[in-house]
Amino acid sequence: MANVAARSAAATFRRRLTGRIASQFGESDNHAGQCLVLRVAGAEYSPVVSWLGMGTTIDRRYVLAGPIGHGGVSIVYEAVDTTANERRAIKVLTPAFANDPWARERVRQEAVIADRLRHPSVPKIYDVGDAPLADGTMVPYVVMELLTGVVLASRLAGGALPWREAVSVAATVADVLAVAHRRGIVHRDLSPQNIMLTTKGVKIVDFGLAVVTEGARSNGTRLATRHPDKYPGKIVAEANVAEPADDVYALGVLIYQMLTGRSPYPTATAGAHLAGPRFRFVAPTPVLVVPGMPKAVADICRHCMSKRPADRPDGSSVALALWSVVLSSPESSPERADPDPTPSWRDGSWSPG
């Protein structure tokens, strides 16, 4: 009876969602059932191409409501888990990559890495499996926590963040990186496009390019899945592809972007310089002057973006430094250019001002 009630609720949810899309955007019910229309920062409303229609059931459990986003090799759908009677997000590999071993492995590995982190600022992973295409081909999928919020890139399209908010976001991201690096995981793709500001706080939402460095233990937490034969939960270590210092540099770039609303690179966005697992170029030494912001924040950003990886602090030190700024600069305090009680960043270490 519980499953029947859940499926009925899912059907009602689909009908309401279809009607809402059709009425808001003037689409037919049939078209609304095929794709959700998303607002992209700085762009017109545009459809996310969907190859799995609304109402498609995966693994006789997950009923798709429609696409809510996409990446390089996958589409993310909103769905209803008819067993748990909960709304979820499901990332499904696109048909174009159905027979690509690397893409299939990346989907699986991303799920295992995210599950291994078990951090409140990383979306929860509930299940992994395979979804059948019309021709019988099986493509991997990952069932994740459904988030409500905005992508950081959308916020930055409107300009810089208030410095306190920027520092708080950066502190949370640094905390995730600190945990990841302790467990041998390097993200490799930290950017405003992969960070969400949600009703549950800051979330890093994409570990599609993350790797486990050689020498890291790969026999840690195993992913709890209903398909242990296909997805055993092992993490494959990769040699010489990235190092934690790369993530720290990306964090420095992120801090600069949040505080200024622009890239630290003079002629292009940071993404143009971040092709591959390593930075091809480093930006000029950042200069940050934000009214009321403690000088320590600019120092942290500059150290994170040091040209030599060996000169960059580790993620834990950055997290501690940023949280110290957050806690010593409450929202209610008056704006001061460089308040004395705020600790300072000196030679890569955190010390009283």
Catalytic residues: 189
**Token pair of 241, please?**
């592809």
Which residue do the tokens 């499996």 mark? 129
Contact by Cβ (8 Å): 188, 211: yes
Q: Which of 12, 64, 57, 2 is nearest to 35 (CA)?
A: 64
The b-or-e profile of 270-309 (16+ CB within 10 A means b, else e) is: beebbeebebeebbeebebebeebbbbbbbbbbbbbbeee
Q: CA-to-CA distance for 135 and 256, rounded, in angstroms?
A: 48
Q: CA-to-CA distance for 17 and 78, rounded, in angstroms?
A: 11
**Token pair of 69, please?**
């986003």
Q: Which of 180, 237, 190 is nearest to 211 (CA)?
A: 237
Phi and psi at residue 237, to the nearest 5°: -80, 140
Residue 150, strand partner residues:
197
Q: Which of 260, 265, 77, 244 is nearest to 177 (CA)?
A: 244
Contact by Cβ (8 Å): 191, 204: no
